[in-house]
Amino acid sequence: MLRLLYLENTPITLLGFLTVLWASFINSANAIAKQPEANKRPNVLFILADDLGWKDLSNEGSTFYESPYIDRIANEGMKFTRGYATCQVCSPSRASIMTGKYPARLQITDWIGAAMGKQWDRNTKLLPAVYRHHLPQEDTTIAEAFQQSGYETFFAGKWHLGDEGSFPEDHGFGTNVGGHHRGSPPGGYFCPYDNPKMTDGEKGELLPLRLGHETADWIEANQDKPFFAFLSFYSVHAPIQSTKALWKKYRAKAAEQTPPEIRFLIDRTSPVRQVQDNPLYAGMVESMDDGVGIVLEKLDRLGLTENTIIVFTSDNGGVSAGDGKATSNLPLRGGKGRQWEGGIREPFYILWSGGRSGTTDVLATGTDFYPTLLDMCDLPARSNQHVDGRSLVPAMITNSDDQSLADLDQLNKRSLFWHYPHYGNQGGEPSSIIRKGDWKLILYHEEDAIELYNVADDIGEQIDVAPKYPEKTVTMKAELDDWLLETNAAMPTQNPKFSSESLANAKVRIREKELPKLERAHAKILEADFQPPQGWWEDIAK
């Protein structure tokens, strides 16, 4: 006869007790199985903005734009205050992120599709260098490295690194939503998108929100496996388009600011915007930030945030001198396409539970993401691939052992390089750059002229101190020359059709006609009766 046992004051047989005990064991096992594995490899979410300037975020000091979700990444992670893109235009810097190599070494030195060599029909002293129009197949991309290590891989948004045969799916991404050869959204920012790699949603759907949802949905479907997700916004590249609701919001905000006497100044070759008050551009920043928020909230809801490394950066400086001339990068000089800090210094954030939060002034650049992420995920380095990158982990950990301190010292002592043998649509000139510590030297290829700045003391690059420091100038120029030779950097050539008289006339036209026209057009955007000239206006929820 079975003895009666009591469980929570209820009589139960031994058989019944064993049944309850077994059920409890099964439920506990299932609960444990649903929890993230303690030793599961970290996930990676890489978020890349297009044309977003260093000062285009509220955490970087903008009082006009609003970016709470991106600010969260910066505030909870590590902010590299001297973080850079490897080029002042998009395709080269994107190629560096994918390969861990400088644009000069890859021979991808301009945005893919730009005229080059003898195709060039503008009146300039030099013909821009010939460059490669796709990622080399022989390179192992960061996506391929993660894919070969068992990660699920995903890409959404702007690619601009080649045509058929060189799309994201050809370089290690198992899923591709929207990535093709075009550098700007072919249908604009409202559905229908006219994108061959993405189906349309409802008419008027907003592109950055769609890309956020696509990324969030894919993460949810692949949450049980380690993943590498690359969210590459088309925002905030031209066309400068936003919703009517957001235009109204930021038009009202602009009205609270002191009206500028002028919005543009000519710097060397073209007008550059000096104030942040464009309500359409501000709306684009907010919509992209909302797209980031969609993904962050999904990670939170799924309990994946702690085990996901999150990167946020941009591919080049803000559009102060071209592609809409919609923002100001002050106190940085210039913007997209230009050789100064405004063209290359970027928001550069890494949120990693294995590292500390805060800020660091360690020099960092786009080639560093590849070895850094491999290091963080405890995957083997690929030193023959990411030859121009260095792991930034020493700047993010609190270890004080001899090796960590030595690695950090090497990061602080290294030089960074740029090479842009082209003329930018935004007024940029053929140039090469070396940054070493606080010092930055720019070599202009038209006249073999040099500028030297101490960026720590002169962040706006207003005082050329090359005459004051001749020895430093010579030393840095020699190091830059050696690097150009080592990478076999392509160079511009003389333009036999160049006319100095035509160039002088063009400068007069810019000053007397284009500059006043710009001032009128950008003032018009803030008027109550403003209507988008291309008919893209959509009054939908943000």
Which one-letter amino acid corresponds to residue 360?
T
Would you state the pLDDT for residue 13? Answer: 47
For residues 435 and 415, the answer to whether their CB atoms sit within 8 Å is: yes
Predicted confidence (pLDDT) per residue in 342-355, tens digit: 999 999 999 999 99
Confidence of residue 402 (pLDDT cuts 50, 70, 90): low
Is 4's pLDDT higher than 70?
no
Would you state the pLDDT for residue 458? Answer: 98
Q: Is 91 helix (H, G, I), strand (E, B) or coil?
A: helix
- Please, which residues bridge with residue 185 across strands? none
Q: Is residue 468 classed exposed, middle or buried when 0-12, 13-18 and 19+ CB atoms within 10 A define those classes?
A: exposed
For residues 180 and 116, the answer to whether their CB atoms sit within 8 Å is: no
Confidence of residue 168 (pLDDT cuts 50, 70, 90): very high
| Rounded Cα distance, 70 and 58, in Å | 9
Predicted confidence (pLDDT) per residue in 261-316, tens digit: 999 999 999 999 999 999 999 999 999 999 999 999 999 999 999 999 999 999 99
Would you state the pLDDT for residue 537? Answer: 75
Residue % of the chain over a pLDDT of 90 = 87
Confidence of residue 409 (pLDDT cuts 50, 70, 90): confident
Would you state the pLDDT for residue 405? Answer: 77
Which one-letter amino acid corresponds to residue 247?
W
Predicted confidence (pLDDT) per residue in 413-458, tens digit: 999 999 999 999 999 999 999 999 999 999 999 999 999 999 999 9
Q: Judging by DSSP bridges, how do beta strands 152-157 and 175-177 pair with one another?
A: parallel
Would you state the pLDDT for residue 515? Answer: 95
Predicted confidence (pLDDT) per residue in 217-264, tens digit: 999 999 999 999 999 999 999 999 999 999 999 999 999 999 999 999
- Lowest-confidence pick of 3-7, 117-121, 482-486: 3-7
Would you state the pLDDT for residue 38? Answer: 45
Is 523's pLDDT higher than 80?
yes
Would you state the pLDDT for residue 540? Answer: 57
Would you state the pLDDT for residue 538? Answer: 63
**b/e map 180-204, b = 16+ CB within 10 Å:** bbbbbbeebbbbebebebbeebeee
What is the mean predicted confidence (pLDDT) over 376-380? 97
Q: Is 326 helix (H, G, I), strand (E, B) or coil?
A: coil
Which one-letter amino acid corresponds to residue 202?
E
Question: Quick count: other Cβ atoms within 10 Å of Cβ 379?
Answer: 18
Measured CA distances, 140 to 154, 370, 386, 542 (Å): 16, 11, 9, 38
Question: Quick count: other Cβ atoms within 10 Å of Cβ 77?
Answer: 22
For residues 168 and 159, the answer to whether their CB atoms sit within 8 Å is: yes
SS3 content of the chain, % helix, strand, coil (to 5): 35, 15, 50
pTM reported for the whole predicted model: 0.91
Would you state the pLDDT for residue 1? Answer: 33
Is 15's pLDDT higher than 60?
no
| Rounded Cα distance, 451 and 441, in Å | 6
What is the mean predicted confidence (pLDDT) over 106-110? 98
Predicted confidence (pLDDT) per residue in 192-218, tens digit: 999 999 999 999 999 999 999 999 999
